[in-house]
Amino acid sequence: MRILHPTDFSKTAELARILAHDLQARLAAELHVVHVLPRYDDAGGAPYVRAYLDSIDAMLKQRIDAEQAAEEQRLRQRLREMAGPDGTAELVPGQPLPELLRLAAEHDLVVMGAHGQSPLDDVFLGGTAGRVVRRTNTPVLTARDTCSVTSIRRLLVASDFRQASLAAWGFATELALRAGLKLVLAHVIENGDADASHANTQLETLAAGRAERLAVRPGNPIEVLPAIAQDVGADAIVVGLRRHGPVAGLVMGSRADALLRSSSVPILSVPTR
């Protein structure tokens, strides 16, 4: 398995890096640590910056170029240290989102920190992580700054018995088999009149003996799933994503997006079409 860990060197990214190394060891996986460094040529004011650099003294421009080269070398060294002796590191020039989507397509799992950078964080998971989750076809494990998990040992898999959650369960079982993880399969009843015993029977059929525990609870998935995770000692919550062309709809709609924003437990988002 190939794991991609994008970093912006933030505290949140460091929490994700710890999880990436843990999964690397458990899966005997390849770990690739990457930082995307925007170039001024790609920035919005690039023509003006370029014109300014062309107009200043050649010696000053040479000094600026030398300082930039030294900074890039420092970043490469830092990335190598973060990757560790068994990982690889890369400093990639360009814009973060398209470069990370390109790299994600070459890997089996992305592990990254999630922190909002936009007013839309009140509605959607903001920042680069949220955009990667919505657009990539690669499963993404996101960790927020409130994450206290350092090792993935048990997965809570959310299921509504639809295609997306079935794909999430399939990926989780494969991951569990390879990494020696334990599985808990859960269903949240949002309709108070729904038959809990029927849902439990459906979970039993889906689990086919591969889950150590089943959980059926009523309520709002945003609140209930993290509560179940805490009760059963789950280190991550697995949710399915439905793909609609280039965009993704979360298996539980916008509420799952809120789950990505609010859960202190890492969220593993698994896309499907």
Structural domain boundaries in the chain: 1-145, 152-273
pLDDT at 4 over 50: yes
Measure the CA–CA gap between 28 and 87, rounded to whole angstroms: 11
Do the beta carbons of residue 7 and residue 82 sit within 8 Å?
A: yes
Task: Tell me the pLDDT tens digit for each residue of 35-72.
Answer: 999 875 555 555 555 555 566 667 776 777 777 888 89
Tokens of 149: 């998990």
Taking the CA atoms of 266, 257, 261 and 142 in sequence, report the sign of the dihedral they define.
positive
Q: What average pLDDT score do residues 164-192 get?
A: 94
Q: What average pLDDT score do residues 248-256 get?
A: 50
Across the chain, mean pLDDT equals 85
Q: What average pLDDT score do residues 236-262 get?
A: 68
Q: What is the pTM of this model?
A: 0.86
Give yes or no on whether 1-145 and 152-273 have one common fold: yes
Q: What average pLDDT score do residues 14-35 get?
A: 97
Measure the CA–CA gap between 261 and 157, rounded to whole angstroms: 18
pLDDT at 121 over 90: no
CB-count exposure of residue 192 (10 Å: 0-12, 13-18, 19+): exposed
pLDDT at position 56 is 62
SS3 category, 187? strand
Do the beta carbons of residue 186 and residue 213 sit within 8 Å?
A: no
Q: Which CATH architecture has domain 152-273?
A: 3-Layer(aba) Sandwich (3.40)
pLDDT at position 59 is 72
Q: What's the CATH code, domain 1-145?
A: 3.40.50.620
Nearest alpha carbon to residue 33 among 94, 98, 97, 85: 85
pLDDT at position 178 is 96
Measure the CA–CA gap between 268 and 260, rounded to whole angstroms: 9
pLDDT at position 243 is 66
pLDDT at position 195 is 82
pLDDT band of residue 109 (cuts 50, 70, 90) is very high
Do the beta carbons of residue 92 and residue 35 sit within 8 Å?
A: yes
Q: How far is CA 104 from the centre of its chain?
A: 10
